[in-house]
A and B are shown apart, each in its own frame.
Chain A
Amino acid sequence: MAADQAPRYFGARVARRQDDRLLRGDGRYVADISPAGVLAAKFVRSDEAHAVVAGIDIEAASVAEGVKEVFVGEDFADNEIRCVSSYAGFQESAQPILALDRVRHVGEALAMVVADNEYVAEDAAELVVADLEPLPAAVDIDTALDVGCAPLHPGWRDNAFVRRRATTYGFNEASSSAPHRVSIELHNGRHSGVPIETRACVAEHDPGTGRFRLHTTTQIPHLIRAGLSWALGVPESLIQVIAPDVGGGFGIKAQLYPEEVACCLAARRLSRPVKWVEDRREHFVAAHHSREHRHSVTGYFDDDGTILALEADIAVDMGAYSVFPWTATMDGGMAMGILPGPYRIHEYSVSSTSVCTNKTPYGAYRGVARPAACFSIERLMDQIARHLGVDRVEIRNRNLLADGDYPWRSPSGLIYDSGSLVESLDAVLALGDLEGLLKRQADARTAGRLVGVGLAVFTEQTAHTTQEFKQRGVPIVFGYETAKVRLDASGTAVVSASIHDHGQGLETTLAQVAADRLGLDLEQIRVEYGDTEQVAYGAGTFASRSAVLAGGAVTKAADAVADTLRQVAAHMLEAAPEDMVVETGRVSVAGSPSQFLETTELCRLIYQRPERLPEGVEPHLEASRTYDAHPGTGAYTNAAHLASVEIDPLTGKTRVLSYAVVEDCGPMINPTIVEGQIFGGVAQGVGSALFEEFLYDEAGQPLSTTFADYLVPVMSDIPDFQVAHLQTPSPHTIGGLKGMGEGGAIAPGAVIASAVEDALSHLVGTVTVDRLPLTPERVLGYIDAANGNGTGP
């Protein structure tokens, strides 16, 4: 077949298509949607972490002016959210839509007030009185797992959703004969994505047809439809889910929430649209938390620092319920898989416990377990380097997978397809000017200042599909994404994709892909997504996979449409279809460019002059394709990060002075968008490393319920970034693409911990930084410990 022209848009830094409407204030977010007759919902939430619900008095609220109805648990007792893992021994939880006899975390909804407007609903919610009889709360991993702690769910053996374990065949021998070992216990604070748009939904129900329509802030419209179908007991054909513009997701908006179910049920009961917009305080206690891992890791190594075996015990504080669609096992499983990271480790023994506690349930957040895994293995590498007196870069170079190692089967069974680890580490040292940083550090030390340099390297599984999710024991195995491409008679195209764009720029990148395949201008393509009635089934946007999978599906569908163009053009020009070339705005005969038909002419002909079509060609230009990036084990992106920090010895406040990233996500559709994703991820990672934490007291009371106590990075906290790219294509994906949406957020915890440890390393004693976030109080604790005062943070 003749080769089409070189891509015009793939790889180009084109400006985003969606920006005009967002910049003008014409975006349409869920909170902006108010159907006629809409009512406002307000949830009354538990202020106890663990309690028996002895009674809820809704009398006064129900008769308040403007209140339509107050719902309590029994009203929705036929409905629940249940997400069951197929892992052996998994203990199931049933999350009620509104609490029944028990509450299991502060923020769990007890009642729902539906009223004329938000002001009235909020007033009435104050009148609801819940009689809660407190029970002892299991607020941390050790308390929950203590044999004396009563199980939080009926019929459970203990408070582990699941315990898992895996050991390679040669682990015992390799570990017992190793000349050196280093152990470290690492803690990651509980925090989450905290998008600036809180959650919101608007539910409508048509009593005539029985159909539901739910506008909701989600990344996964089709999966929400599936989950609603289970929770409501209504077939999917009667449920339409629409995710319009969504103000950031980061994983937090990739779960089904009880509020979505409640609004649907209330809309059905009241035959009126019901709208709920979460307030920020609710968000901190009721939107899913993430990241709280505790890892005990031991590295066994030889005199050179070559790792001979790795041992890890992982515990994750999953909160009160198993969440849909991930179950309560995702983080533990992911950490088990990726903890060996980018290193040539053959022998591995790992156990993991997903712990149920009286805290807000735990869902996805950008990077899912990988930030904790990277923190563990990179902290371990730094400790090994220190133990042997070897440089931190050198110890990594001795263990990093090299070009000849691919495909690499990790000791946890992951297949790393390709990468450029050594090269990326090398490149980041130059980009971030390690030499210059060390010089400035030496000068700063002479002046009595605490300056440190940190680095980390990681590999990231992206675009994993069926093969991977099958192994994760999730009830719905997601893999493929779907795209439909339709060219119309005026020669413009609509691309409908099953992914969702809530900032990633897919509305633009998918148009870039389609434009190249069809020879169209970017302006001639419209990309639609988010409405389950409009786009074909697919999982949605999460796990760094949308550009790869939807990009692949768009490529396949557009190619199928282009084939019809070729066929018809060949017929009209009396040439062979395989000699036809798709160019900008035309289809021509290879080698004789004067013989061509304009694409618009072809499109009109195909739809409006069917009598002129060759036999067997149907008069339409439309194709729908799915793509699953076979074999589904993932395309591995890698990156190296290098940063410098300065600590104020009086306050303990850490400031990031510089941050450099070299990332290899294969060929890039739009490098500007890739860089935006990296920067955004790194800034969130800096938040994880230095500021963000959902703290609780011993009774399970959350202490971080406003932006005044849950600190997110602001503009003055974040330095300018330096970024460079390597482009090693994946052998598994169309175009060699690899995903990269999460990567930026993976390494900063490890990098900044390494830098803080380095900054303190010349004080009297050495300290081991083993805990995130590195808040000023914790850093002061490390400084005291290094100076020989106190016991550390």
Chain B
Amino acid sequence: MAELSVSVNGELTAAQVDPRTLLSDYLRDHLGLTGTHVGCEHGYCGACTVLVDGASVRSCLTLAVQADGRSVDTVESLASNGELHPIQQAFKECHGLQCGFCTPGLLMSVLELAATNPGCGRDEIREHLSGNVCRCTGYHHIVDAVEAALNSVREQGDGS
């Protein structure tokens, strides 16, 4: 068993885990944060994407102990005071989700994109987000949603 202490969505969590425990399993099974989904467990689909110290990682390819002493953000961190995050709002308004299974991982990738490259256009959005597979939407409405989300993030940035 390994000692683990990791901040998840701003709260410190501590546990004894089997060292082989995946971060995705730690979040889902130990902490009950089932918003993070697992679609392939081999690092391809991106459904399990979370941010570790602000950078996106595949939680299915990351051991929980690798996050020791770090800070993890999951989809559950996005909405605040009951209000959807602007990225979530954009996905809702643009019909950027159907079954919703790929959505949490995608939202976290978009959050990273908004922080690192908020000015990118449709083609760049497609390149950046090609690590998140969606089987339902055909992507068009997702690109609409990301465009709208980046716009509103930029506007907020300008305003502050």
Q: How far is the CB of B107 from chain A (nearest CB, A)?
A: 7
Interface string of A1-43 (1 = CB under 8 A from B): 0000000000000011011101111111101101000000000
A502 contacts chain B at the CB level, 8 A cutoff: yes
- A716 contacts B126, C-beta separation under 8 Å: yes
- A680 contacts B138, C-beta separation under 8 Å: yes
Q: Tell me, in angstroms, the Cα distance from A198 to B45 when the chains sit together.
A: 12
Q: Pick from B100, B127, B130, B131: contact of A503, CB below 8 A.
A: B100
- A19 contacts B140, C-beta separation under 8 Å: no
Q: Which of B70-89 contact A (CB under 8 A)?
A: 74-76, 78-79, 84, 88
Interface range, B side: 35 or more
| A679-B140 contact given A22-B100, A246-B99, CB 8 Å threshold | yes
Interface string of B121-160 (1 = CB under 8 A from A): 0100111011111111111111100000000000000000
A720's closest neighbor in chain B, by CB?
A: B140
* Most chain B CB neighbours (cut-off 10 Å) among A15, A27, A714, A718: A714
- A25 contacts B39, C-beta separation under 8 Å: no
Q: Which of B17-35 contact A (CB under 8 A)?
A: 18, 20-21, 25, 28-29, 33-35
B53 contacts chain A at the CB level, 8 A cutoff: no
CB neighbours of A684 from chain B (8 A)? 135, 138
CB neighbours of B79 from chain A (8 A)? 23-24
A201 contacts chain B at the CB level, 8 A cutoff: no
* Most chain A CB neighbours (cut-off 10 Å) among B41, B88, B125, B135: B135
Interface string of B46-81 (1 = CB under 8 A from A): 010000000000000000000000000011101100
Q: Tell me, in angstroms, the Cα distance from A23 to B130 when the chains sit together.
A: 20
CB neighbours of A280 from chain B (8 A)? 39-42, 45
- A706 contacts B44, C-beta separation under 8 Å: yes
CB neighbours of B99 from chain A (8 A)? 195-197, 245-249, 502-503
- B92 contacts A15, C-beta separation under 8 Å: yes
Q: How far is the CB of B106 from chain A (nearest CB, A)?
A: 10
CB neighbours of A28 from chain B (8 A)? 34
CB neighbours of A198 from chain B (8 A)? 39
Q: How far is the CB of A50 from chain B (nearest CB, A)?
A: 28
A229 contacts chain B at the CB level, 8 A cutoff: no
CB neighbours of B143 from chain A (8 A)? 715, 720
CB neighbours of A194 from chain B (8 A)? 135
- A197 contacts B101, C-beta separation under 8 Å: yes
B102 contacts chain A at the CB level, 8 A cutoff: yes
B98 contacts chain A at the CB level, 8 A cutoff: yes
Q: Tell me, in angstroms, the Cα distance from A706 to B40 when the chains sit together.
A: 8
Give the interface of B toward A (CB within 8 A).
Answer: 18, 20-21, 25, 28-29, 33-42, 44-45, 47, 74-76, 78-79, 84, 88, 91-93, 95, 97-104, 107, 122, 125-127, 129-143
A-B contact pairs, 7 of them (CB 8 A): A23-B88, A32-B28, A195-B101, A676-B136, A706-B42, A708-B42, A715-B125
In the A-B complex, list the 7 residue pairs whose CB atoms are closest, starting with the nearest: A25-B35, A247-B101, A22-B100, A679-B138, A503-B98, A683-B138, A503-B99
Given contacts A27-B100, A503-B98, A675-B95, 7 further A-B contacts (CB under 8 A): A23-B75, A27-B101, A195-B135, A197-B101, A676-B141, A680-B136, A721-B138
